[in-house]
Structure 1
Amino acid sequence: MTSTAWAQAISDPSGGVRVRTRRHGDLAQSSRDGALPDSIASSMSGQGRKSSELGAYPLYKAPAKKTKDEEEPYMVWVRRTAYIAFLGNAPPLLAFLGVAIMTLAADAVMTLIIIKRVPYTEIDFTTYLEQAQGMLKGERDYSRLRGASGPCVYPALHLYLHAPLVQLTHAGAKLMPAQALYGALYLLNQALVMSLYRSAGSPSILLPALIISKRLHSIYVLRMFNDCWTSLLLHASMVFLVRRRWTAATTLWSLALGVKMSVLLTLPALGVILFRGVGMLQSLRLGFLALLVQVLLGLPFILKHPHAYFAGAFDFSRAFLYKWTVHLRFLAIEQFQSAWTSRVLLFAHAGLLLLWITTRWTRVGEEGVSWVLKRWHGPPGGGDPSARCKYWCQYLPQRSPLQLIQLSLPSQVMIFSIFTANLIGMTFARSLHYQFYSWYAQHIPLMCWAAAVKIDFGKKGLPLGIRLALPVLIERSWNIFPSTPSSSAVLWLAHLTLLWGLWRADPTNEAQP
């Protein structure tokens, strides 16, 4: 090449030296050969002729890339703040509230769109209204309260809640007002669950996972099952429970039982929590309060036909239909309905609860009866607030309400105990209908987060990939209709895997005294 050309040579990767000079064709050729002319090389090394003699621009050395430690203080602050707000355990209250409000706003828009565009599907709601109409007409014999899909098999609060809906919907002729009510019920329930996530010290990044369930939206605003009321009252009870409002928590739990018996799955964990929180005598008093609430709710029916009420509202012998089950469909119908299967599931349920009670929720397995005797009259030391939960409180800002968590019974122990008891019950239930997903759908993200590997404690939970896959597999299994042997097998294995992770990670035992 004889014409004058501009060439650019780059050398010294660590320093980023750049030379821009006017040379002839030998530069282009040498560049292709992977070497620079001696004149340029010598000038770059500070030897030979001056750059002005070569007709070159002065040498320029680009600044080295800053390390993380050398970054501007503002960028360091932004990075750390973002991590604490979204990924860190127990984020600051304002950061958590910001994410929660944005998540609820997005969920409200999504729910409104679903109500407007997706058609309602009738399953049991009309039956609820017909049963409530029978009560409004003066019927007090529970065996005679019936609807299109069968007799009333729920406690009395179920009827009281649906009685106003008879007028609101014009006896089922106009369902849009009821759908709007259930949409508000759904959003209120989400807010309560987010409050529990905050009390458990979870990162804000978990909150968006609460609003993406197709099946959960359907249960609330497209089917309007009474399970929605049970879930709301249970979560409200837990909100009071983590704040040590024992009477209010017990009353709300009993109200949840007054809608549907499914809340009984959490009774073992609730009993342990009350015993650890207030001792045996106060626990018995609270148990009597829960029983009294049930009697008062059913009193109009108990006074007239007591046997019919208890036989209908609390029928423990009732068997669910195989055709609607999402669970254990991989069993043949003969095996599914056999008494032997029922006994095996009941034994496994009771055995796993006993294992968790003695080794995870308490230390009876290690200390024996002495552990119980030390807490017979309440927490050791009377719940001295100077005893703190060292692990969880290290993440909390000063003056946070959670700084007052007592070491004897941290909030996360209560939450994970109830969530785990509920999951154990669902894992070994013979039949799960589609609406039963509302019993634990909002618990799954938190339980998967809690089932992590904790190196500091030497606890081996589940790897991240499995914890991310479990919610997807569980949601997919509940969205397959009708269920198949493979979908029910995936669901059951996912439940067992999550229980195994919770057992190994042990989120309820990190701070026990």
Structure 2
Amino acid sequence: MILLTTLVDRFKPSPSLLFWSLLIAEKAFCLIVLYKIAYTEIDWVAYMQQTTQFMNGERDYTKMKGDTGPLVYPAGFLYIFSFLNWITNGGSNIVLAQWIYADFAVLTLYIVLTLYFLSTKVPWYATPLLLLSKRIHSIFILRLFNDPIAMLPLYFSIYALSKGNPLLSSILFSIALSIKMNILLFAPAFALLMYQSVGLLASIRNAAVVLGVQVALAAPFITAGYGVEYVTKAFEFSRQFFYVWTVNWRFVGEDLFLSKGFAMALVVGHLSVLVLFLGKWTGAHGGILSVIKKGLNVSGTQALNIDYILLTMFTSNLIGITFARSLHYQFYSWYFYTIPYLLFRTQIPLVLKIAIFGTIEYCWNVYPSTNQSSVLLLSCHIILLVALFVAPVESNRVKFESKKSKTKAKRT
């Protein structure tokens, strides 16, 4: 294994050549899928029906419906898909929509690769794994789901935070949240990172920015007198997904799956594991109390280590996915691009890393899911979480120096 790693490192391509080669390959894969595999209708028509109602003046969320049911996504979804509705002639030009989604896929890979190349933890030979998903290309090109669209501003939000721009990061985070609620799975880590970066007062300000963006996007519904209807439908936390479509937890059986007790157990498990990882993330910085104390005295913006940002954000999301009662096939886009990074942040042997990656991909391509595939998927998630928990966490700081102090130093 050491010999193999040495040989791989010896033939390492230049970063720019690898970066652009992967993007070109992704575009080629997308076009092959577009022209060789038939489009499959699932939610696109419903998206178009819902956005058509909005474009025609409807502002009551309880009245906006499609073939698959009521509108359950926030306002950002409506604005983006209203544009897609307009540009694709009411959604009838499917090929144009697929071309646009192919560009979304390439843009997603562009920002994800940018984050990976900023990292010091992921070897170059791990990055081609980001192209190797049949299901992801299906989600983008053949199904036209809104899930991968929501993830795009989230990755840009992470990039902005890594570049020391927490305000822009907060705006982008809120835009992502306005497309789909799954972005909340990143919120615990995002709140911790924001606090460590700018301290208590600025964190409160940025939280207000996140809320303000949501209010601004919801303005057409609020001013029309349907604010309550908007909030209760766009952020419907009580919504229950169907057992028949789930990729995970199928092995527990439908009765237990739908029970309130099982739902509560998953919530408790989710929160408990988050607390454990919160202790781990802050442990390298003196513990949670020390982090809180330091945050009360932060002046300016503190530069955070890119790998600390990626590790906490991606792990927070994985915890939420592991304890989600139902994962539908399009939800794979919530975390696929984070899997190689998380695997290579562990001390799992290389062969096992590849095996876990391949097993997760296999599970998401079993349709319909089975008891065996759902057990395999959960096992991979648990193994990865345990490996992440026992792996070391380095300092969160690149250089604990505020922008304010840097400016002062330059002037002197």
User: Normalising to structure 2: TM-score of the pair?
Assistant: 0.91
Structure having the higher Rg: 1
| Counterpart for residue 116 of structure 1 | 35
Residue 464 of structure 1: how far off its partner (Å): 2.4
Q: 1:266 to 1:508 in 2, by over 3 A?
A: farther
Give the structure 2 partner of residue 387 of structure 1.
Answer: none
Match of residue 450, structure 1, among 320, 325, 345: 345
CA displacement 1:170-222 (0-9 Å, x = unmatched): 22222000000000000000010001101222222112110010000000010
Distance 1:368 1:135 in 2: 46
Partner of 2:406: none
Amino acid paired to 1:283: S
Give 1:210's match in structure 2, choosing from 119, 125, 130.
130
Cα distance change of structure 1 residues 168 and 371 upon mapping to structure 2, 3 Å threshold: closer
Pairs within 5 Å for 1:473-492: 473-492=359-378
8 A contact 1:416–1:508 mirrored in 2: no
Pairwise CA distance, 1:422: 0.3
Match of 1:125 among 28, 36, 44: 44
Residue 219 (structure 1) aligns with: 139
1:343-386 alpha-carbon deviations (Å, 9 max, x no partner)? 1110010011111112224557x54524411221327x985xxx
The equivalent residue for 2:350 is 464
CA displacement at 1:504 relative to structure 2? 1.2
* Corresponding residue number in structure 2 for 1:24: none
Alpha-carbon separation, structure 2, partners of 1:351 and 1:245: 31
Return the match for 2:213 from 283, 293, 300: 293
- 1:247-266 deviations in whole A, cap 9, x for unaligned? 11110000000000000000
Please state whether the residue corresponding to 1:330 is helix, strand or coil: helix
| Greater Cα offset, 99-108 or 485-494 | 99-108
1:416 aligns with 311
Indicate yes or no: 2:321 matched with 1:431.
Answer: no
Letter in 2 for 1:447: L
Counterpart of 1:331 (choices 213, 230, 252) is 252
How far residue 467 of structure 1 moved from its aligned partner, in angstroms, is 1.3
Tell me the alpha carbon deviations over residues 214-240 of structure 1, each in whole angstroms, 9 at most, x when there is no partner: 000000010010011111111111111
Closer, same or farther: CA 347–509 of 1 in aligned 2, 3 Å: farther
CA spacing shift, 1:368–1:184, aligned 2, 3 Å: closer
CA distance in 1, matches of 2:193, 2:291: 14
1:285 maps to amino acid: R
Of 159, 162, 165 in structure 2, the residue corresponding to residue 242 of structure 1 is 162
Deviation by residue 1:442-487 (Cα, 9 ceiling, x = unmatched): 11111111112xxxxxxxxx22222121100000000000000000
Offset of residue 507 of structure 1 = 4.1
CA RMSD of aligned residues (A): 2.0
Do structure 1's residue 506 and structure 2's residue 392 form an aligned pair? yes
Partners of 1:510 and 1:226 in 2: how far apart?
Answer: 33
Q: Could you tell me whether the CA contact under 8 Å between 1:126 and 1:172 is conserved in 2?
A: yes
Q: Which has the higher helix share?
A: 2
Alignment of 1:76-115 (within 5 A): 83=9, 86=12, 95-115=14-34
In the other structure, the counterpart of 2:229 is: 308
Q: Which AA in structure 2 matches 1:120?
A: Y
Q: Which amino acid aligns with 1:493?
A: S
Aligned AA (1:271): A
Query: Where does residue 143 of structure 1 map in the other structure?
Result: 62
Q: Distance in 1 between matches of 2:143 and 2:118?
A: 31
1:240·1:246 contact (CA, 8 Å) conserved in 2?
yes
Helix, strand or coil at the partner of 2:250? coil
Are the counterparts in 1 of residues 280 and 389 from structure 2 also a CA contact under 8 Å?
A: no
- TM-score scaled by length of structure 1: 0.74
Question: Whose RCO is larger (CA < 8 A, sep 6+)?
Answer: 2
Q: Distance in 1 between matches of 2:258 and 2:264?
A: 11
User: Are positions 1:495 and 2:352 aligned together?
Assistant: no
CA 1:503–1:444 in 2, change beyond 3 Å: closer, same or farther?
A: same
Instruction: Give yes or no for the alignment of 1:348 onto 2:269.
Output: yes
Shift of 1:81: 10
SS at match of 2:72: coil
* Letter matched to residue 474 of structure 1: I
Shift of 1:97: 1.7
The alpha carbon displacement at 1:440 in A equals: 0.5
Which residue of the partner structure matches residue 263 of structure 1?
183
